[in-house]
């Protein structure tokens, strides 16, 4: 029996927290995996940064059209579908995610807190006019007002959506089991949620291929199996 299965079966309010590692088995690169993360190829401070909208517009648009092209190619994997099934059956109560791929939403989860926004919407950075994702992908990057069109994600240097952040804080505080799937837990303030849960007595589980600075606080760390393998195995035992 997977030790994680036991923890899920005895918990009343399990909350899942996901990072880019949740979507690598869909084909999407994560950010910091050794020699394959996105930040090994691109410089986040130059591109995923609100300043880039003004000083680096062409590269900014190229980068996000590239990211959108990878998103359009891939889809949620079995692990995402298992989490959606678990929410429907009340096995988990919600998902706090740093991911902007909207794969939890596409898989059918409802209580999803997208801390960093998502690629579902695009808007003009100046006048906030909404734009269609396909038009952006087709190359439309400037609004009639002259502003730059950008994805509805949180760029470095920007505030997280306060209402989503609030809800995530409430959910993490209610959790008696907090399961991290696929995050290096290096980016704040998102990386505070595992401790918000832990400090209120929740059990903390970290399923991540590489060690994180939060492993020392975890009740269970799973590094020897991929996220999809863990979810498929536990789903068989639940």
- Report the nearest approach of ligand APR to the CB of residue 29 (Å): 8
Q: Which residue is nearest to ligand APR (CB)?
A: 21
Catalytic, 116? Answer: yes
Catalytic residue among 105, 116, 123, 125: 116
Q: 29 near 192, Cβ under 8 Å? A: no
- Report the nearest approach of ligand APR to the CB of residue 33 (Å): 5
Q: Which two tokens stand for residue 10?
A: 């005895």
Complex with ligand APR: residue 133 or 209, whichever CB lies closer:
209
Query: Exposed/middle/buried for 224, CB within 10 Å: 0-12, 13-18, 19+?
Result: exposed
Q: Residues in the site for ligand APR, rule: CB under 6 A?
A: 19-21, 24-25, 30-33, 37, 44, 98, 116, 182-184, 186-187, 208-210, 226-227
End-to-end CA distance of the chain: 10
Pairing of strands 117-124, 149-153: antiparallel
Q: Which two tokens stand for residue 167?
A: 């809800």
Complex with ligand APR: residue 34 or 89, whichever CB lies closer:
34
CA distance linking residue 203 with residue 200, whole number of Å: 9
Complex with ligand APR: residue 54 or 156, whichever CB lies closer:
156
- Report the nearest approach of ligand APR to the CB of residue 8 (Å): 18
H or E element, residue 84: helix 78-88
Beta-carbon count within 10 A of 75 CB: 15
Q: Which two tokens stand for residue 92?
A: 């988990």
Complex with ligand APR: residue 21 or 143, whichever CB lies closer:
21
- Report the nearest approach of ligand APR to the CB of residue 238 (Å): 19
Complex with ligand APR: residue 132 or 210, whichever CB lies closer:
210
H or E element, residue 203: strand 203-207
Beta bridge partners of 156: 49
List residues with catalytic annotation: 116
């Amino acid at each position: 029996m997977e030790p994680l299965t036991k923890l899920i079966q005895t918990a009343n309010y399990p909350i899942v927290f996901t990072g880019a590692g949740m979507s690598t088995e869909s084909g999407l690169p994560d950010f910091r995996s050794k020699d394959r993360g996105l930040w090994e190829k691109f410089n986040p401070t130059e591109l995923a940064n609100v300043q880039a909208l003004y000083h680096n517009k062409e590269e900014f648009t190229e980068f996000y059209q590239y990211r959108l092209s990878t998103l359009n190619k891939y889809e949620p994997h079995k692990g995402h579908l298992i989490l959606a099934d678990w929410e429907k059956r009340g096995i988990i109560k919600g998902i706090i995610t740093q991911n902007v791929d909207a794969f939890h939403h596409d898989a059918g989860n409802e209580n999803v807190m997208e801390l960093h926004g998502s690629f579902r919407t695009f808007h003009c950075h100046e006048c906030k006019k909404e734009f269609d994702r396909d038009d952006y992908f087709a190359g439309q990057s400037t609004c009639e007002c002259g502003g730059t069109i950008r994805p509805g994600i949180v760029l470095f240097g920007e505030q997280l959506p306060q209402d989503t952040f609030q809800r995530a804080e409430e959910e993490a505080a209610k959790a008696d089991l907090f399961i991290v799937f696929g995050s290096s837990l290096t980016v704040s303030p998102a990386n505070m949620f595992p401790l918000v849960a832990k400090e209120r007595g929740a059990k903390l589980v970290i399923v991540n291929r590489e060690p994180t600075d939060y492993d020392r606080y975890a009740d269970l760390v799973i590094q020897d199996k991929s996220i999809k393998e863990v979810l498929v195995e536990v789903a068989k035992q639940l």
